């Protein structure tokens, strides 16, 4: 696993964050050192797949990046006849994901595609995962996508949504941002790297509140919605269709 040093060089580009080849090369390290609770979210996806994936159904990883959630579902699914579709709009991520899936020993069929999750058909789904993906879409497109996911799911299916959020209390939001920056410092990111990454991702990743996410999921028709994990300003929701 290559170390994330994208924002170390003072002469590096300060443009907006992109899921390009450079990011794909270091993405696992970037996730571990940047997202509190990321490993726990992947383990939970595996456990939920074991419990909720239904026989002869489809499972989706929307915004799959290098396929961590895809492989978690693949290793957890016990029901027969399941298939997984993994979608990402970044060709660099999809190419690496296809390589990783090809050498994974589990046998559940997986199709990895370059596509925009907003236009992906969802049908016969018993499990849909969006692990830190929705936050990169325009806010105006988010409700329609969640509606489409819900409409394409079987009764009793599970939807997992992990997101960076913004707290409704400005004082708490400032506290959580500070704790997150400390988390990065403890994981050997420099002040320069933290500042440059924050500038690069501004207006690319647009977070929302917990209340906004819950309202959107309920309006889409999910019967149950709750938070199974929160670590600073990172939250993982689970919803049952």
Mean pLDDT of 183-208: 89
How far are the Cα atoms of 7, 196, 215, 233 from residue 189, in angstroms, in the given order?
9, 11, 35, 18
Q: Is 60 exceeded by the pLDDT of residue 12?
A: no
Q: Domain coordinates of the chain in residue numbers?
A: 38-166+205-240
Q: For residue range 57-113, what is the model confidence (pLDDT) as tens digits?
A: 999 999 999 999 999 999 999 999 999 999 999 999 999 999 999 999 999 999 999
Domain 38-166+205-240's class?
alpha beta
Mean pLDDT of 138-142: 97
The single-letter DSSP state of residue 169 is S
Residue 36 structure tokens? 């509190």
Q: 226 falls in which pLDDT band (50, 70, 90)?
A: very high
pTM reported for the whole predicted model: 0.91
Q: What is the spatial distance between Cα 201 and Cα 207, in angstroms, rounded to a whole number?
A: 11
Q: What is the spatial distance between Cα 47 and Cα 72, in angstroms, rounded to a whole number?
A: 8
Q: What is the spatial distance between Cα 207 and Cα 173, in angstroms, rounded to a whole number?
A: 12
Q: What pLDDT, on a 0 to 100 scale, did the predictor assign at position 60?
A: 98
């Amino acid at each position: 696993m290559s170390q994330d040093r994208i924002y170390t060089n003072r002469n590096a580009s300060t443009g907006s964050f992109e899921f390009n080849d450079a990011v794909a090369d270091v993405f696992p390290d970037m996730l571990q050192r940047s997202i509190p609770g990321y490993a726990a979210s992947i383990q939970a996806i595996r456990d939920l797949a074991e419990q909720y994936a239904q026989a002869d159904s489809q499972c989706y990883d929307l915004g799959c990046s290098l396929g961590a959630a895809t492989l978690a579902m693949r290793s957890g699914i016990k029901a027969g006849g399941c298939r997984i579709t993994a979608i990402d709009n970044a060709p660099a991520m999809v190419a690496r994901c296809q390589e990783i899936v090809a050498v994974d020993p589990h046998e559940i069929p997986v199709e990895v595609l370059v596509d925009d999750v907003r236009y992906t058909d969802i049908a016969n789904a018993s499990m849909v995962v969006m692990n830190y993906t929705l936050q990169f879409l325009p806010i105006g497109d988010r409700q329609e996508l969640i509606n489409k996911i819900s409409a394409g799911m079987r009764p009793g299916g599970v939807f997992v949504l992990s997101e960076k959020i913004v707290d409704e209390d400005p004082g708490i939001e400032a506290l959580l941002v500070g704790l997150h920056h400390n988390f990065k410092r403890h994981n050997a990111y420099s002040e320069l790297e933290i500042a440059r990454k924050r500038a690069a991702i501004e207006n690319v990743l647009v977070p929302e509140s917990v209340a906004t996410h819950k309202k959107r999921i309920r309006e889409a028709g999910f019967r149950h919605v709750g938070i199974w994990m929160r670590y600073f300003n990172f939250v993982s929701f689970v919803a049952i269709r």
